[in-house]
Structure 1
């Protein structure tokens, strides 16, 4: 995985994916200088997520979709899109849960916890079960984090039963779609495990 991370980008799409990681780092620095520590902290939470595709050797197109989604979710918090744009949180719960669940599955493949659905003799239907389960787990953890933030940090975080269940349901739908994609499309570079 270290060799994947240190490997120079190959082609325009991999350069774009690395530029998105650079934007993530610059976003934290910019928020620390020109905004609040809270905004910088929110953006900093996205940084580890932005590095995962590089470590596991995700295909450039998936890396870009994943990184854009993570950055949009983080910046949506900073510029308050969740409150100002109707259903923005549902759009982001769907898309974020989808890409995070797919990436989590790739991490599990990398550590040989689950089989690669693209490998000969593997059951291509495994992601149809595992990816939605990962998405539901991620949705539950996220909703717990929101509740902790509301209960112990600030009451400005919007937390209601209906919102929580709706967010998790939409996230689960995104994870089901991701499971179908993972079962049918190779999301890792073909040479990723050679590194």
Structure 2
């Protein structure tokens, strides 16, 4: 994981994910310069998530999309979009929880606590297990997220929306997003050559010498 975090971009597909990370760093610096400590802490957490995505060496499309979703969720809070647009909270919970569920599952896979999502290709039962486990991770993170919203509403800003309907809607959206993330993980590297996958993981491609 450390090798993947520190590697230089090798493939054209690395440009977009690292571009998102650059935007994350810019957002963190902007928050520190022009916003308050709450916003700075928020973007620091987002930046941590962006670095974890790089360390996990996820497929470039998932890396860029996941990072963009985390940035969108943070800026939506700063711009107060959750209060201005009635359906925005549900949409962001669906997308962001999916991204976080994928990150959490891949981290567990690197620690060998759960199966690698790119395991036996074409085995339907295996893919089903992965999707169910990713969904479980996402639902657990959704509960933590809702607790964080309650804590923020109680101790930081009473404008943060909480309540029974809001919580159930957020949990449902998070579950749907997690199912989608699980499906994406099981298909994430189809069509990727071994050399490209090794390059993204920070490894040298295997030699075919006999």
Q: TM above 0.5, one fold? A: yes
Say if 1:126 and 1:183, in contact at 8 Å, map to a contact too.
no
Q: Deviations over 1:42-98 (max 9, x none)?
A: 222211111111111111111100010000001111111111122001110000111
* Aligned position for 1:87: 87
Q: How far apart, in 2, do the equivalents of 1:73 and 1:82 lie?
A: 9
Deviates more, 1:118-127 or 1:61-70: 118-127
Alignment of 1:140-151 (within 5 A): 140-151=143-154
Q: Deviations over 1:112-132 (max 9, x none)?
A: 111113223872222121011
Deviates more, 1:109-118 or 1:167-176: 109-118
Deviates more, 1:182-191 or 1:7-16: 182-191
User: Post-superposition shift, 1:99?
Assistant: 1.3
Pairing partner for 1:190 from 186, 190, 197 = 197
Q: Secondary structure at the match of 2:127?
A: coil
User: Post-superposition shift, 1:104?
Assistant: 1.3
User: Post-superposition shift, 1:193?
Assistant: 7.3
Say if 1:125 and 1:183, in contact at 8 Å, map to a contact too.
no
* Aligned position for 2:159: 156
Which structure 1 residue ranges, 4+ long, deviate > 4 Å from structure 2?
Answer: none
* Aligned position for 2:54: 54
Q: Secondary structure at the match of 2:197?
A: coil
Give the alignment's Cα RMSD to 1 decimal: 2.0
Alignment of 1:1-195 (within 5 A): 1-120=1-120, 123-186=126-189, 190-191=197-198, 192=201, 194=203
Deviates more, 1:115-124 or 1:149-158: 115-124
Q: Deviations over 1:16-38 (max 9, x none)?
A: 21121121111111122122232
Say if 2:59 and 2:188, in contact at 8 Å, map to a contact too.
no
What is the count of residue pairs matched by the alignment?
195
- Alignment gaps of 5+ in structure 1: none
- Alignment gaps of 5+ in structure 2: 205-210
Could you tell me the TM-score, scaled by structure 1's length?
0.92
Q: How far apart, in 1, do the equivalents of 2:113 and 2:71 lie?
A: 28
Could you tell me the TM-score, scaled by structure 2's length?
0.85
Q: How far apart, in 2, do the equivalents of 1:11 and 1:180 lie?
A: 25
Larger Rg: 2
